[in-house]
Amino acid sequence: MSKHQPLKGISIVDLTTRLPGPLAASLLRNQGAIIYKSKNLNQQDPFLNSKDKIFQHWQEQLNDKCQLFEDNELKERIMSSNGAIITWKHAEELQHYKKLIKKPFVLITIKASQNKEKRSLHDLNALSESNLLIWHLQQYEDDQAIIPPPFLPVAGIQLANKLALMFCSLTIEAIKTNSLIEEEICLDESIEELSHLLMPPSFQSKALHNGLYPCYQIYRLKSDNDYLVLGAIEEKFWLQFLNFINLKELEKLQFDSTGTTSAKLSCQLRQMNKSDFLNLKLIGNCVSFFTKSN
């Protein structure tokens, strides 16, 4: 949460469900905005009412500290707020209130796609259309018949961050011009923008962030539940780490992409416990630990 609270005094009506809209509203709330949400929408949210505990947890966290209102109070909330985040389903309903809206006001409509045939496009499907899914698929064997989706909904998170940034930018413009500003934002276009930025011209199945080099890996320790997380991209950190675990002969192989150096490191680290690293000064910088609970 920002200590400066730059959106203090700004109130926003959130008429969205699932992840992107509520996550964007939560990010705006962390900057000081007051978020109003319909009680009825919470009851209709398919993620909140699902049997999936992760979805339930996400929605409970995202809806925490929202100011709830009844459906018959929507007109009053719209008239007394500075902006609204809505879905295409609410766009027609809010047309009736436009002449009553107090300016400045920002109205952003979330859509899965401008293509009406893709109105129900899900995060996973948007990810596949952007080609970013290929990095996830490369982690699995070619003959694996069932591949689990990425744990985090990347497309939805990208949309939420873009939406929050858009709302802040448009609020500045609306205040400057004392006007009502309307905008649309789409799931598929949002992830496509990210794909253009991150996908290299020629695809390689592995890169720094998914295990190509030994200096940026997750290694299992002697205890099967303990892992050492290594992010020694800087040469000085790499050398300090090797010196500590007595593998100085690998100092020139920081970016070895053959897998041989990673295997040697793994062999050494599988002999060590988390307690063996108590005197390592790199902890908290490029070395951290993770314990997997049973």
pLDDT tens digits along 34-51: 999 988 766 666 666 677
Specify the pLDDT at position 60.
Answer: 83
In eight-state DSSP terms, residue 283 is B
First to last CA, the chain: 32
CA atoms of 280 and 244, how far apart (whole Å): 7
Tokens read off for 220: 């299992």
SS3 call for 29: helix
Largest CA distance in the chain: 73
Are 93 and 116 in contact, with CB atoms under 8 Å apart?
no
Q: Per the confidence metrics, is the pTM higher than 0.75?
A: yes
Report the share of the chain in percent with pLDDT over 70.
94
Sheet with 287-291: list strands edge to edge. Answer: 216-220, 226-231, 287-291
Average pLDDT score over residue span 249-263:
96
Specify the pLDDT at position 63.
Answer: 83
> In order of start, what are the domains of the chain with their CATH numbers?
11-198 (3.40.50.10540), 208-291 (3.30.1540.10)
Confidence of residue 170 (pLDDT cuts 50, 70, 90): very high
Residue 256 has pLDDT above 80, yes or no: yes
Specify the pLDDT at position 190.
Answer: 95
Average pLDDT, the chain: 90
- Beta-bridge partners for 36: 13, 67
Residue 128 has pLDDT above 80, yes or no: yes
- Beta-bridge partners for 229: 218, 288
SS3 call for 166: helix
The residue type at 156: G
Tokens read off for 161: 């961050």
Specify the pLDDT at position 2.
Answer: 62
Specify the pLDDT at position 204.
Answer: 66
Residue 264 has pLDDT above 70, yes or no: yes
Residue 266 has pLDDT above 90, yes or no: yes
